[in-house]
Amino acid sequence: MAVCIAVIAKENYPLYIRSVPTENELKFHYTVHTSLDVVDEKISAMGKALVDQRELYLGLLYPTEDYKVYGYVTNSKVKFVMVVDSSNTALRDNEIRSMFRKLHNSYTDIMCNPFYNPGDRIHSRAFDNTVTSMMMQVC
């Protein structure tokens, strides 16, 4: 389960960021911010690769002692960053992929909403529910 999930817009500002509340959230914000560099690096490394879901999933961006950061980028350069606790049972890569897929689906649902202006912060309850289902269940 993720500890922090963030949706970053194309211009690298956050559309949605949510962390497990017990942690020092600022640390996760900072981590997500720093991971953007790695995301950009991977995007540029991929070049003009054919758009495939595999390329959407960036994989492990970088590990630290406490947690691992995974990235996912959509075709419109909207990035999803997920911070997972390392002490957790090592989440399989597939699980991370499926979580990202769910996130992506929820995000597209939001985009379909005509009342949502792309670029606004995401306030959707449905999206919140999706994210909550993925977050760690920390009391």
Partner 1 sequence: MEGLTLSEAEQRYYCDLFSYCDTESTKKVASNGRVLELFRAAQLPNDVVMQIMELCGATRLGYFGRSQFYIALKLVAVAQSGLPLRVESLNTVKDLPLPRFVVSKNEQESRHTALYSSDADNPASYSGVIPPPPGRIQVKKGSVSHDAVQQRTSTDQQESTSPVVSPQQSPPTSPHTWRKHNRHPSGGNNERPLAGPGPFWAPFSEAQPGSSTASDPIWSGHSPPPHQENWVSFADTPPTSALLAMHPASVQDQTTVRTVASATTANEIRRQSSSYDDPWKITDEQRQYYVNQFKTIQPDLNGFIPGSAAKEFFTKSKLPILELSHIWELSDFDKDGALTLDEFCAAFHLVVARKNGYDLPEKLPESLMPKLIDLEDSAEAGEQTAEVGYASSPAEAPPSKSPSMPSLNQTWPELNQSSEQWETFSERSSSSQTLTQFDSNIAPADPDTAIVHPVPIRMTPSKIHMQEMELKRTGSDHANPTSPLLVKPADLPEENKMSSSVKYTAGNTVNGYSSSDSYTSDPEQIGSTVTRQRSHSGTSPDNTAPPPPPPRPHQSHSRSSSLDLNRSFSVTPGQQQAGVVAYPPAVPPRPQPSQGPGPHVHRPVDAEGLIAHTSTSPQQIPEQPNFADFSQFEAFAVSGVSKEDDDEIETHSESLQVEKSSDSASSLRVAKADGRVEDKAPASVPTSAGKGTTPLAPPPKPLRRRLKSEDELRPEAEEHTQKTGVIAAVLASQPSIPRSVGKDKKAIQASIRRNKETNTVLARLNSELQQQLKDVLEERISLEVQLEQLRPFSHL
Q: In this structure, are residues 9 and 15 in contact, taking their beta carbons and an 8 Å threshold?
A: yes
Q: In this structure, are residues 77 and 22 in contact, taking their beta carbons and an 8 Å threshold?
A: no
Q: Binders of partner 1 among 57-96, rule CB under 8 A?
A: 57-65, 86, 90, 92-94
| 53 scored as a contact of partner 1 (CB under 8 A) | yes
| 37 scored as a contact of partner 1 (CB under 8 A) | yes
Interface with partner 1: number of residues (CB under 8 A): 42
| 47 scored as a contact of partner 1 (CB under 8 A) | no
What the block records as the tokens of 91 is: 């989440």
Q: Which residues contact 135 (CB under 8 A, 6 or more apart)?
A: 1, 2, 3, 5, 18, 20
For partner 1, which residue of 1, 23, 101, 136 counts as binding (CB under 8 A)? 101
Q: In this structure, are residues 15 and 7 in contact, taking their beta carbons and an 8 Å threshold?
A: yes
| 12 scored as a contact of partner 1 (CB under 8 A) | no
For partner 1, which residue of 13, 22, 41, 49 counts as binding (CB under 8 A)? 41
| 48 scored as a contact of partner 1 (CB under 8 A) | no
- Closest Cα partner for 86 from 59, 70, 66, 71? 66
DSSP single-letter state for residue 48: S
Least CB distance from residue 20 to partner 1, whole Å?
21
What the block records as the tokens of 64 is: 């630290």
Residues at the contact surface with partner 1, assessed by CB under 8 A: 34-35, 37-38, 41-42, 45, 53-54, 57-65, 86, 90, 92-94, 97-98, 101-102, 105-106, 108-110, 112-116, 123-126, 130
